[in-house]
Structure 1
């Protein structure tokens, strides 16, 4: 609607604006979630809406289970990497195992994904690729189905995509499915691509020269955009059908056959001009140098795209309209009043419980003096009984006696009045960082408080923490931090035990990889990483950044480009893998030592018994003699 003047040629045709419209229409054909704000959320959830909002996804969702049952393996090509993101979400939702390759995939990951997919016992069902990524270097001969989610302007690119499965080693016939949205610009794109292929076969392949091919012109672009626009504006509801996949495939095969038949009839002149005129037109008297002058007048009378008409509502209710427009909700019951000069106390300040009783008495008496009536709550069970009990408390309330007022003032000084929300949050974070027992470190983290104040507050906190409103959340936060601390301690212990087995660990240390060695890192590199990590201290902050600098400065790796180019995050991941291997090795050694001790224990015990029995026999003989 924004560019309706361009579509109706009322304004000057701007090629860039036309290209932009063309790209937006192609995104419409692929999936609405390619437009920001179209997907429901946040929070974003993966559900049936991912499929039901796109005709192509509906067809794909019907086709893939059928292929999976047949034991086929599938390649899916798309030109848009954001479509691959949507397909990834779909595969995770449906439980299909997949690999992905696009222009941002590193060479190592690309090779690993190809090998994983082509393995004889591979469980990967889908390999999704961007159409122009990878090129001729990809062999995916284990797949026997190719799905072109969208089509390229250049037919050779699509053919090259299909050829990824037509490789040496292919043992099955390869089937190709192309998804095209009906009555859209995609139909014209595919027609143009087919014409290019046909022109290539009848002209270029015969060795004849061809003039410079016409690029996509403004008029042709406009016709592509306008194709099916009237149909779209005329339709009110969704046209996504619930047809069986076999019916859809049968109709698709029929349309493909029709297009091929039309292409066969096209002459060279029509192909050069990228028009779908039949070969009979070429022999017509009205046709001269590729132009049909009989149809020229009709072409000049450009079809006018009518924007959709605004429908009036039969019953126009003003009150209902403004209620909906302003979203006026029912007024909530006002909060119960409180005395104007009552102190503001927080639960984390841990005042004596008696203070809250006195403050409650004061609030009830104030409500009695102003004649407050408790409203009936409609959203709780036994609302009438609850209202009656609350009103009875107010009616029976008495003012505080002088002794009680004096007691209240005294109790107001007995809490942690100097602790604010910021101090409390610092205290909780320090407990998470150092654990509840390291009180000295916690005291250093809480700014503006002396160690004595923090120790006093900590004692009261752990005694009365159940009085806090969100204690579950706070305790979960502290326990997560303590779990991380215990994990660091266990890792440090495992490294100490491992290093202690060797006199010269930088030269002698060996790691039991099992089947998890990997291809990238050498044993020399792994040995250096573990020994340096133990030497620098695992608990240190930024230890992996320092480890990275050590790797770069070490002479033994001066020509090792791989290890010198690793980031701190990659070194951390490798060290975590090595630590898990070391912990597994330590556990196996401990279990082996325990088993040996158990084997030795019964032998020693029986010998001890034999000695005891022999000595008792000698004593009995002596007593008899």
Structure 2
């Protein structure tokens, strides 16, 4: 029996070893199949959840759709007119089925009655909250709670809507509270989609986290790699409640987003879809959704087709035909006006909620607007006159609207700052000084205003339409030492959020925020500022209102002062007046339902605007900027604003009584007709030096000196002197600009004076002209050619930017690598340029920023070298680091990565180089060591980089400790060596090298004899 058991034991052991050796491949194959099956099951589960979610949403949408028309017909029978074609076709279809269809109809009718009975018993459709949902943090105002109840009523009746409250009343909070209500009371967790401008996505995410943290929000934005990660890991059914994305992503990622049936699609700044033929509007109509909510702070424009487009987006099955809509609201005569107004109100009432701050937000501090008028500097007058003279025929007789618009734009640039014109600013080199202020009336006004605002602890937002003007303002603020932030159309999303946070944080020292009117007027909360300066006014007054509401909104604790700058007796006065009139008419759109087509500025209006103030401009060449105290300027501005308000009040009263078919004349400047009775042509001709024949092609832009010289010449002659053209000298080309300018001016001066002398030498009773200056000597001509050759004229701005980026990437000393990045440049050319750049980089306009960027890049390179040395030092302590390397984790060992993974990562980084994260990721995926480790194989490059940085810190710490132990060991060894007694046991220490040196004078025998004696 014992033998049998032993035999069985040996047999069993042999079988085990055979299975262990022979089935390794089978086990790995089964494991791979098992993991593959798990992935398949996971995908099926996710798809099952998505299908159930979509089916529930689709069913809910069908149920809501049945009662939608009924609810609208309860509001007004007008909707029956638009829904009539579908209704009649349904009747025809029913009629075709005959009597046998009556039983089915009865069942449907019974089901409908039963549903109504249940709704009546449960109170469905009559929800009215008296307190905000508990999941909403903070305290909602009464009008915001009323807005939430309005949104709930739309939801219960299956209606889409437009939340059009004035900017600053908390439309975002009201929308989030609706989603919170659905989550808390209806158990609807989504999915919802918010589509908004890219610049406001950060604000949406912050507001959701702040007001309703129970909602799981995902921001769907980024590069293709980031979007792929979001699609696979975050945008999964059951893992999110709200998807916040941009208009661009809604178009670009429509295939991913169309997988979902959405509960709510919310479109912020909804006026972006008012054109039903735009790509955005077409794309948004493709998404399957229960409800659509449009958010806009801009009132509906008085354009019938745009109104239909919005209503078609909200209820496409009812407002399906633009022609039917147009015919219904066709204005046939005066008697139909009141009826049309009533019909419009009936159509809009169920969908639109618009309230003004003045009506609902009683606790909000008031907003006070003041128009500050200022004169023009001598340089501004000079350019303003030149612009009118340049297009005298157009301005006098009227020309194409496009040409008039161009003149208007140039005149407005002149009103802002003459440095907006090429060649107006003295330089190069360009310097920042008082000339920035003195040459523009508005800058003089700003320079007086800002110290007063700083003194009273105000904080200022400055808006302008022109980003190049923001550059000038930025130079001015640096010159005066004011701390500032800036946002324009080129500001990235992260920089934008960082600037807003820096300005709004408690105790912020930022005094001014520069914003472009279009880019900075949307989705930004800057209520910590209490002063808004509109440096220039937009043609559309709604844009300026959006800008003002960045500060005048909920959370503002001070009275908001708005200062609107205006250059006196120029086109700007008429632009502002027209904006005020347009604002008054826009208010009548909703108040009175006017439906006249939107009126753009026409040619006659533009002509009146351009001509306005010409008499004052030509009457004097001197500056009209006064030295008045800023308080006096503000007092005068308040008086002027009050006069304009009174004028607009009368205008509004007249407009209310005006006929709808005569609305075109509402924009005419009737009160200015007396001002425009002067002979414009006579004024220009009397104040203008006789021009040569209109040779526009002859344009000398070397310097202001050349322009003055040419304008002050005598009567035009058929032949003009050939002026040597000075090449454009950029700062990055490192020419000797000062010396070249001196040589060119000398050459031009000589040619001009010689020409004048030849023109006047045959004249009678004319004084002898002054002697012409000396021409350039041979040495000076040679010097000029040499200076032109010394500069880098073949280097373009693109070459310079490539050079700077290469310096950041490789460091300034790696000329070979830098040259490899430069297209069309040899290594010798790059080396020569790099040498000059190193010596003369301070001649660049923004050398501080450039050098800081390069130094940051070099610091990264230096850090990378340190990391590679640290890793190499660590690996050198092991014979086979791929198997033996140990990492001292201490207390910081994580649970996700094991030691084998970390060992592989350290060794592979040493092989591939620090920073090559894509190659590292590929190495993990292809290594057989991790073929079953799905955690490691699914890590992104960012996650691998973070783990690698953690390991490098551990390695550097270990190296420091190792070096310290080595130093301590050497120190102890040296100390022990010094304390060791001699072998003879005399207790004498080893003889010093000094004594040995002294003994070298003795003979070897004497030394040995002496040694034996001892």
TM-score (norm 2): 0.36
Name whichever of 113-122 and 238-247 sits farther off: 238-247
Aligned with residue 309 of structure 1, among 688, 710, 714 = 688
Alignment-derived partner of residue 447 in structure 2:
61
Indicate yes or no: 2:966 matched with 1:535: no
Are 1:97 and 2:483 an aligned pair? yes
Kept in 2: contact 1:529–1:547 (CA 8 A): no
Tell me whether 1:322 sits opposite 2:776 in the alignment: no
Q: 1:299 to 1:66 in 2, by over 3 A?
A: closer
Structure 2 residue 609 is matched with structure 1 residue 224: yes
Aligned counterpart, 1:106: 492
**Alpha-carbon distance in structure 1 between the residues aligned to 2:953 and 2:550:** 43
Instruction: Please give the root-mean-square deviation of Cα atoms over the aligned residues, in Å.
Output: 5.7
- Contact in 1 for aligned 2:611/2:680 (Cα 8 Å): no
* Match 1:20 to one of 400, 406, 409: 406
Aligned-pair distance for 1:602? 9.5
Provide closer, same or farther for how the CA distance between residues 234 and 85 of structure 1 changes in structure 2, counting only shifts above 3 A: same
Residue 543 of structure 2 corresponds to residue 125 of structure 1: no
Matches within 5 A, 1:234-249: 234-249=619-634
Aligned partner of 1:5 among 393, 396, 400 = 393
Residue 254 of structure 1 corresponds to which residue in structure 2? 639
Instruction: Check if 1:70 corresponds to 2:70.
Output: no
Contact 2:465 2:538 in 1 (8 A): yes
1:165-314 alignment runs, 5 A limit: 165-201=551-587, 203-269=588-654, 303-305=679-681, 306-307=683-684, 308-310=687-689
Counterpart in the other structure of 1:404: none
CA offsets 1:307-336 (integer angstroms, 9 cap, x no match): 2233999x99xx99826969954468877x
Following superposition, the deviation at residue 559 of structure 1 comes to: 8.4
Task: Compute the displacement of 1:149 (Å).
Answer: 0.9
Q: TM-score, normalising length from structure 1?
A: 0.55
Aligned to 2:4: none
Asked if the contact 2:909–2:920 (Cα under 8 Å) also holds between the matched residues in 1, the reply is no
Structure 1 residue 143 corresponds to structure 2 residue 529: yes
Residues 217-258 of structure 1, C-alpha deviations (whole Å, 9 max, x = no match): 211111111101121122212222333322222222221122
Q: Call closer, same or farther: CA 1:119–1:534 in 2, change over 3 Å.
A: farther
Cα distance change on mapping 1:476 and 1:139 into 2, 3 Å = closer
8 Å Cα contact 1:434/1:485 also seen in 2? no
Question: Which secondary structure state, in structure 1, belongs to the residue aligned with residue 566 of structure 2?
Answer: coil
Q: Helix, strand or coil for the counterpart of 1:147?
A: strand
CA distance in 2, matches of 1:529, 1:36: 56
Q: CA deviation at 1:22?
A: 0.9
For 2:421, which of 35, 44, 52 is the aligned residue?
Answer: 35
CA distance in 2, matches of 1:497, 1:88: 44
Does the Cα contact within 8 Å between 1:77 and 1:131 map onto a contact in 2? yes
**1:150/1:299 Cα in 2 relative to 1: closer, same or farther (>3 Å)?**
closer
CA distance in 2, matches of 1:225, 1:245: 29
Inter-partner Cα distance in structure 2 for 1:244 and 1:295? 31
Q: Do the aligned residues in 2 keep the contact of 1:139 with 1:164 (CA within 8 Å)?
A: yes
Alpha-carbon contact 2:404-2:607 (below 8 Å) kept: yes
d(CA) in 2 for partners of 1:263 and 1:475? 62
Contact 1:495/1:582 (<8 A) preserved: no
- How far apart are the structure 1 equivalents of 2:827 and 2:520? 55
Report Cα offsets for 1:415-472 as digits up to 9, x if no partner.
xxxxxxxxxxxxxxxx96589xxxxxxxxx999xxxxxxxxxxxxxxxxxxxxxxxx9
Q: Displacement, 1:589?
A: 7.3
Match of 2:158 in 1: none
Q: Which whole-Å CA distance do the structure 1 matches of 2:460 and 2:815 have between them?
A: 52
Correspondence for 2:831: none
- Cα 1:329–1:156 shift into 2, 3 Å: same
What are the residue-to-residue correspondences of 1:483-522 with 2, within 5 Å? 491-498=864-871, 500-501=873-874
Residues 1:267 and 1:494: Cα distance change in structure 2 (over 3 Å): closer
Q: CA deviation at 1:594?
A: 5.5
Measure, in 2, the Cα distance between the counterparts of 1:36 and 1:62. 27
Equivalent in the alignment of 1:82: 468
Structure 2 unaligned residues grouped into runs of 5+:
1-388, 660-664, 691-710, 716-749, 758-770, 780-811, 817-825, 829-834, 841-850, 876-880, 890-902, 926-934, 990-1014
CA contact (8 A) 1:551 1:563 kept: no
Q: In structure 1, what is the equivalent of residue 803 of structure 2?
A: none
SS in 2 for 1:76: strand
Distance change in 2, residues 1:334/1:241 (3 Å): same
The answer on whether the counterparts of 1:74 and 1:146 sit within 8 Å (CA) in structure 2 is: yes
* Structure 1 residue 604: Cα displacement: 9.9
Indicate conservation of the 8 Å contact 1:199/1:268, yes or no.
Answer: no
Give me the whole-angstrom Cα distance separating, in 2, the residues matched to 1:476 and 1:298. Answer: 64
What SS does structure 1 have at the residue aligned with 2:463?
Answer: strand
The superposition leaves residues 178-200 of structure 1 with CA deviations (integer Å, 9 ceiling, x where unpaired) of 11111111111111111222334
Deviation at 1:473, TM superposition (A): 7.0
- Offset, 1:474: 11
8 Å contact kept, 1:494–1:583: no
CA contact (8 A) 1:199 1:272 kept: no
Q: CA, structure 1 residues 434+234, in 2 after alignment: closer, same or farther (shift >3 Å)?
A: closer
Residues 101 and 130 of structure 1 are in contact (CA less than 8 Å); yes or no, is this contact kept in structure 2?
A: yes
1:346-374 deviations in whole A, cap 9, x for unaligned?
A: xxxxxxxxxxxxxxxxxxxxxxxxxxxxx
Looking at structure 2, the residues matched to 118 and 218 of structure 1 have their Cα atoms a distance apart, in angstroms, of: 44
The 1:324/1:616 distance shift into structure 2, 3 A limit, reads farther
| Separation (CA, whole Å) in 1 of partners of 2:618 and 2:955 | 69
Question: Which moved further from structure 2: 582-591 or 219-228?
Answer: 582-591
Determine the structure 1 residue equivalent to 2:892: none
Higher RCO (Cα < 8 Å, 6 or more apart): 2
Check 1:434–1:193 CA distance in 2 against 1; reply closer, same or farther (3 A cut): closer
Q: Secondary structure in 2 aligned to 1:266? A: helix
Shift of residue 100, structure 1, vs aligned partner: 1.6
Structure 1 residue 167 displacement after superposition: 2.8
Aligned to 1:459: none
SS in 2 for 1:77: strand
**Alpha-carbon shift at residue 157 of structure 1 (Å):** 1.3
Q: 1:616 to 1:73 in 2, by over 3 A?
A: farther
SS in 2 for 1:8: helix
2:538 match: secondary structure: coil
Give the 3 Å change call, closer, same or farther, for CA 151–333 of structure 1 in structure 2. Answer: closer
Q: What displacement does 1:83 show?
A: 1.3
In 2, are the aligned partners of 1:51 and 1:57 still within 8 Å (CA)?
yes
Following TM superposition, by how much is the alpha carbon of 1:71 offset from its aligned partner in structure 2, in angstroms?
2.0
CA 1:60–1:321 in structure 2 vs 1: closer, same or farther (change >3 Å)?
same
Q: What secondary structure, in the 3-state scheme, does the structure 1 residue paired with 2:554 have?
A: coil
What displacement does 1:63 show?
1.6
Following the alignment from structure 1 to structure 2, what is the Cα–Cα distance between the partners of residues 562 and 296?
68
